[in-house]
């Protein structure tokens, strides 16, 4: 038997999480280094996966399959396709940066009980989330996916509620109350989504008799598993609801600004760049493959919601006074693009959506982490408290600008390629939707540039006049992300090469072919 590479990529951070949690209270720094090393080792494993993955090979590669709970028809089945591999790599890539950026976020302020170990807990929880996210990208068994899709809420919940921003304006008690509100809101939204999905998962079992994605998709394709139209639609809705909460899609998005606003910047990145990707990924992998007909049936409604997300998220981002909430609403807008790309049902759209997931992860990480560094210096999240930072801290301002420009999809930076692909792919089939969505880009330019202008340019505010520039650790976090943004903006081929064959298979699952431009236009 070959080495279970995929299990190892998930097991390593899981074991690392336990080890980190077990580090004695006084050895805080050791816990940090341990977590960082584990995350780097996981990245190394992810790179091995990436190298061993053959884009033109079988659809699911590096597969593992073991009996698990035969009674529920559940097997421990892992396998990655191009989409999964790309997101797996993204996750493994971002976690070391998140850990490094949050290096001091969980240093204990007050002296609690001797056994109270917030630092160890913080890094252990991040690794736990990493393990669960990775296994969700790898699972090809619906039940296995569901278990980790749900279970990852718990460490995420403690990360949001337990480790808030030190730099919150207002009293400590109020901040704690807001934080625990945000954490509970996050958990309840996602738990309700997950429980509704549970009903659909059970329904799927009743219909199909097992949970193997490949088996069910195959049976659907060759007609041996017939679902009544209504059954399929209900099951699709059950799955889609959970993913739409997670993604998040308007009108199920309201937990995201709270969660991202109250969590520390690295945790906010973890939410939006890593955990939320599971939602959009699962739409591609589970909704489209398991319920192709229902997906086509629901497409118009979902596209409308996606466009609302794009415009609504961008409009609200323009109106924000809080930097982190602004980034959160910008993310909602971007998730609208991703979902639109998925359900446009064209290969450009879906390639673009997958690429978008990767690029959005990197660009949001860059923007949000720099914003976090900025906020920790001034002790405020309000845009109005800043001004003229670029004169005091030019490197910080410069990286912030690059992150912002990536967010508004400036040509030459990575997100441009994906946004362009999504828009082209959508336009080919749904021109009106595509045109409306394009306005999202205009609004993105507005909120990003206004944010930059208000915080970084203008006269230097007295409170920021002594602000130090990026330190070595912070630079180490930001520089690689900026390099990646530029590299993938100029040369996205490495990612698209991996993603494209997988998108083709997904397209054939839903029996969709790309429209021939002139024929569709003539109609």
Partner 1 sequence: MSAVAVHSLWTTAADPISKIDAPKIEYGQLSPTLIILGAAIIGVLVEAFVPRKSRYYAQLFVSVVALCAAFAAVVALASDGYATTKAGIAAMGAIAVDGPALFLQGTILLAGLVGLFTFAERRLDPETHGNRVDSFAAQAASVPGSDSEKAAVKAGFTTTEVFPLLLFAVAGMLIFPAANDLLTLFVALEVFSLPLYLLCALARRKRLMSQEAAVKYFLLGSFASAFTLFGIALLYGYAGSVSYGTIAKVVDGTITTVDPALVDTMGNDALLLIGAAMIVMGLLFKVGAVPFHMWTPDVYQGAPTPVTGFMAAATKVAAFGALLRLLYVVLPGLRWDWRPVMWAVAIVTMLGGAIVAITQTDIKRLLAYSSIAHAGFILAGVIATTPDGVSSVLFYLAAYSFVTIGAFAVVTLVRDAGGEATHLSKWAGLGRRSPLVAAVFAVFLLAFAGIPLTSGFAGKFAVFKAAAEGGAAPLVVVGVISSAIAAFFYIRVIVLMFFSEPRPEGPTVAVPSPLTMTAIGVGVAVTLVLGVAPQYFLDLANQAGVFVR
Cβ-based nearer residue to partner 1, 199 or 432: 199
- Minimum CB separation of residue 46 from partner 1 in Å reads 23
Show Cβ contacts of residue 365 under 8 Å, excluding neighbours closer than 6 positions: 94, 97, 98, 269, 273, 481
Q: Are 422 and 356 in contact (CB under 8 A)?
A: yes
**Residue 158 Cβ, how far from partner 1 at the closest point, in Å?**
7
Residues 6+ apart with CB under 8 A from 72: 143, 205, 211
- Tokens 């041996």 locate to 224
Work out how close the CB of 202 gets to partner 1 at its nearest, in angstroms, rounded to a whole number: 5
Kindly tell me which of 52 and 174 has the beta carbon lying closer to partner 1: 174
Is residue 45 within 8 A of residue 54, CB to CB? The reply is no
Residue nearer to partner 1 on the CB measure, 166 or 454: 166
Pick 41 or 196: Cβ nearer partner 1: 196
The smaller minimum CB distance to partner 1, of residues 235 and 444, is found at 235
Q: Write the DSSP symbol of residue 515.
A: P
Residue 241, C-beta contacts closer than 8 angstroms, at least 6 positions apart = 193, 196, 197, 252
Instruction: Name the residue nearer to partner 1 (CB basis): 125 or 327.
Output: 125
CB 332 within 8 A of CB 253: yes
Q: Distance (Å, rounded) from C-alpha 410 to C-alpha 396?
A: 19
Minimum Å gap between C-beta 30 and partner 1 is: 19
Residue 95 and residue 39 in contact, taking contact as beta carbons nearer than 8 Å: yes
Of the candidates 476, 432, 450, which has an alpha carbon nearest to the alpha carbon of residue 307? 432
By beta-carbon proximity to partner 1, the closer residue of 116 and 487 is: 116
Closest by Cα among 158, 175, 186 to 255: 186
CB-nearer residue toward partner 1: 183 or 358: 183
| Shortest separation between residue 173's beta carbon and partner 1, angstroms | 8
Q: In angstroms, what CA-CA distances link 87 with 96, 100, 208, 267, 353?
A: 15, 20, 28, 18, 12
CB of 32 to partner 1, least distance (A): 19
Q: What minimum distance in Å lies between the beta carbon of 506 and partner 1?
A: 26
122 contacts 267 by C-beta, under 8 angstroms: no
Measured CA to CA, the distance from residue 455 to residue 261 in angstroms comes to 18
Q: Which helix (H) or strand (E) holds 321?
A: none
**Residue (167 or 192) nearer to partner 1, CB:** 192
Whether the bond between 471 and the residue before it is cis, its omega within 30 degrees of 0, is: no
Minimum distance, C-beta of residue 27 to partner 1, in the bound complex (Å): 16
What crossing angle do the helices spanning 82-101 and 347-378 adopt, rounded to 10°?
A: 0
**Shortest CB 81 distance to partner 1, Å:** 24
Query: What does the binding site for partner 1 look like in residue numbers (CB under 8 A)?
Result: 67-72, 112-113, 115-117, 146-148, 150-151, 153-154, 157-158, 161-162, 173, 176, 179-180, 183-184, 187-188, 191-192, 195-196, 198-199, 202-203, 205-206
């Amino acid at each position: 038997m070959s080495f279970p590479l995929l299990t190892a990529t998930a097991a390593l951070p899981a074991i690392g999480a336990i080890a980190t949690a077990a580090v004695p209270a006084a050895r805080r720094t050791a816990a940090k280094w341990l977590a960082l090393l584990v995350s780097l080792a996981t990245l190394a494993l992810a790179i091995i996966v990436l190298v061993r993955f053959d884009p033109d090979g079988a659809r699911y590669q590096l597969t593992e399959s073991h009996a698990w709970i035969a009674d529920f028809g559940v097997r421990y089945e892992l396998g990655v396709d191009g989409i999964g591999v790309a997101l797996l790599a993204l996750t493994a890539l971002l976690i070391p940066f998140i850990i490094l950026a949050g290096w001091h976020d969980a240093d204990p302020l007050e002296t609690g009980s001797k056994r109270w170990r917030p630092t160890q807990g913080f890094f252990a929880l991040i690794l736990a989330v990493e393990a669960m996210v990775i296994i969700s990208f790898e699972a090809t068994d619906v039940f296995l996916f569901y278990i980790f899709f749900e279970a990852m809420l718990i460490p995420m919940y403690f990360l949001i509620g337990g480790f808030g921003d030190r730099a919150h304006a207002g009293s400590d008690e109020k901040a704690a109350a807001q934080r625990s509100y945000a954490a509970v809101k996050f958990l309840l939204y996602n738990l309700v989504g997950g429980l509704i999905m549970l009903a659909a998962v059970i329904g799927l079992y009743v219909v199909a008799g097992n949970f193997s994605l490949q088996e069910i998709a195959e049976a659907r394709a060759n007609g041996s598993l017939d679902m009544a139209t209504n059954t399929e639609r209900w099951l699709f809705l059950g799955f889609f609801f959970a993913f739409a909460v997670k993604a998040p899609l308007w009108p199920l998005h309201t937990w995201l600004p709270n969660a991202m606003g109250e969590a520390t910047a690295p945790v906010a990145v973890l939410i939006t760049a890593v955990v939320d990707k599971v939602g959009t990924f699962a739409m591609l992998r589970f909704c489209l493959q398991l319920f192709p007909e229902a997906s086509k049936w629901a497409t118009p409604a979902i596209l409308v919601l996606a466009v609302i997300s794009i415009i609504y998220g961008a409009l609200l981002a323009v109106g924000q006074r809080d930097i982190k909430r602004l980034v959160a609403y910008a993310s909602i807008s971007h998730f609208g693009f991703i979902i639109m790309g998925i359900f446009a049902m064209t290969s450009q759209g879906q390639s673009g959506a997958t690429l978008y997931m990767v690029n959005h992860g990197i660009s949001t990480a860059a923007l949000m982490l720099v914003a976090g560094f900025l906020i920790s210096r001034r002790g405020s999240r309000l845009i109005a408290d800043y001004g003229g930072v670029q004169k005091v801290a030019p490197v910080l301002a410069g990286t912030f600008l690059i992150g912002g420009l990536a967010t508004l999809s400036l040509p030459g930076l990575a997100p441009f390629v994906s946004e362009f692909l999504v828009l082209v792919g959508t336009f080919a089939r749904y021109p009106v939707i595509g045109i409306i969505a394009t306005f999202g880009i205009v609004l993105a330019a507005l909120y990003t540039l206004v944010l930059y202008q208000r915080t970084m340019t203008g006269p230097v505010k007295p409170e920021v006049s002594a602000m130090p520039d990026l330190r070595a650790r912070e630079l180490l976090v930001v520089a690689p992300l900026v390099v990646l943004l530029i590299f993938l903006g100029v040369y996205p081929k490495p990612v698209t090469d991996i993603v494209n064959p997988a998108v083709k298979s997904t397209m054939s699952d839903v029996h969709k072919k790309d429209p021939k431009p002139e024929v569709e236009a003539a109609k």
